Amino acid sequence: MDEEGKKELMEEFKKGDGAKRLDLWDYALQQQVLWEAIIADMQNIAREQGVDKQLEKLIDEEMKNAE
């Protein structure tokens, strides 16, 4: 969802009645669960491919260079 979509959703929420607000809240929670699952899958793939180790190494190198 882009910024414009977020603004529209918030306006709908502000103007909505109880049932509409509940529907929007439920939608947002469903999206949260979906994105948490996507992130978990990405983390698993990165771990399986060893990408997470490469990223840790890059972060460590940047931290050392910043000192």
- Give the pLDDT score at 46: 87
- Give the pLDDT score at 7: 96
- Give the pLDDT score at 13: 95
How many domains does the structure of the chain reveal? Answer: 1
- Give the pLDDT score at 66: 84
User: Is-contact 46 61, C-beta < 8 A?
Assistant: no
- Give the pLDDT score at 38: 96
Q: At what angle do helices 3-15 and 18-49 cross, to 10 degrees?
A: 150
Alpha carbon distances (Å) from 3 to 7, 9, 10, 23, 29: 6, 10, 11, 20, 18
First-last CA distance in the chain = 38
pTM of the full structure: 0.64
Quick: pLDDT tens for 1-60.
899 999 999 999 999 999 999 999 999 999 999 999 999 999 899 889 888 788 888 888
Which residues span the domain enclosing 28? Answer: 3-66
